[in-house]
Amino acid sequence: MLELHNVRVYHGPIEAVHGLSVSVSEGQCVVLLGPNGAGKTSTLSAIAGVASSRGQITFNGHDLEGLSIEERQRLGIALAPEGRRIFSNLSVRENLLIGAATRTDRPGVASDIDYWFSTFPVLHERSDQAAGTLSGGEQQMLTIARALMSKPRILLLDEPSLGLAPLICKQIFALIDSLKAQGMTILLVEQNVRDALQLADYGYMLNSGNLMSEGDRETLSRQGASMSTLTGINHT
């Protein structure tokens, strides 16, 4: 479904990812692991069209080269960015509507808002409240719900558990698990290796813009101890 072939990602003159190949099949949850600065966000940004890249990225047979962020969204790519980047001064409902900006089916958008409000009752209760007043966990739920409002075929999730209390992390991982059970294809970035590997069908371990290893859950779990010594990241 999504194929990255020898992808290099650039921030101005800086090459953040040095030739990465990644494959995500329909219905899979694939995880990108690695310490700070490994190039995880850069990789998602290149797929979403936010960062410039070289190499080949194809999605459902479409070469994404030269396509804008919106064109990629229309093809079914949605990014839930790291750091809960919601529009703080807009209401919860307005944030969700922004997620649906590329859609033309108004009745569908309205019923999807109802659907996400029933999935996240706490967002429903706060639908007219400024999104900036939500708690960290609520903002993360809004970030994910907003990405899902575009009705994506693949969801790119950047560190959804970062900075959240353990109980809220659990809720977020349960949500990802239920999205997966509904057949959503997910490319997940996480530093929380243990929880991420419980969800993931396959994973890639990056460090300093290079691929260190890849494999299925069992292989990466087995390598967990050596990975943490190598990179200093916590895998417990």
Ligand X SMILES: Nc1ncnc2c1ncn2[C@@H]1O[C@H](COP(=O)(O)OP(=O)(O)OP(=O)(O)O)[C@@H](O)[C@H]1O
Tell me which residues touch ligand X (CB under 6 A). Answer: 11, 14, 16, 34, 36-42, 82, 191
Asked if 16 and 9 touch (Cβ cutoff 8 Å), the reply is: yes
Q: Which is nearer to ligand X, 36 or 89 (CB)?
A: 36
Crossing angle between the packed helical segments 136-148 and 166-181, to the nearest 10 degrees: 20
Q: How far is the CB of 211 from ligand X (least distance, A)?
A: 13
Which tokens sit at 31? 């995880």
In the chain the first and final C-alpha atoms are separated, in Å, by: 31
In 3-state terms, what secondary structure has residue 10? strand
Asked if 184 and 160 touch (Cβ cutoff 8 Å), the reply is: no
| Interacting partner of 38 out of ligand X, Mg ion, none (Cβ under 5 to 8 A depending on kind) | ligand X
C-alpha dist (Å) from residue 72 to 68, 78, 127: 6, 8, 28
Q: How far is the CB of 196 from ligand X (least distance, A)?
A: 13
> Of the candidates 235, 231, 234, 236, which has an alpha carbon nearest to the alpha carbon of residue 39?
231
139 lies in the site for Mg ion, by CB under 5 A: no
Stretch that binds Mg ion, among 13-21, 27-35, 76-84, 146-154 (CB under 5 A): 76-84
Q: Give me the 28-67 binding string for Mg ion, x by CB under 5 A, dash otherwise.
A: ------------xx--------------------------
| Interacting partner of 89 out of ligand X, Mg ion, none (Cβ under 5 to 8 A depending on kind) | none
Q: How far is the CB of 98 from ligand X (least distance, A)?
A: 22
Q: How far is the CB of 97 from ligand X (least distance, A)?
A: 28
Binding site for Mg ion (CB under 5 A): 40-41, 82
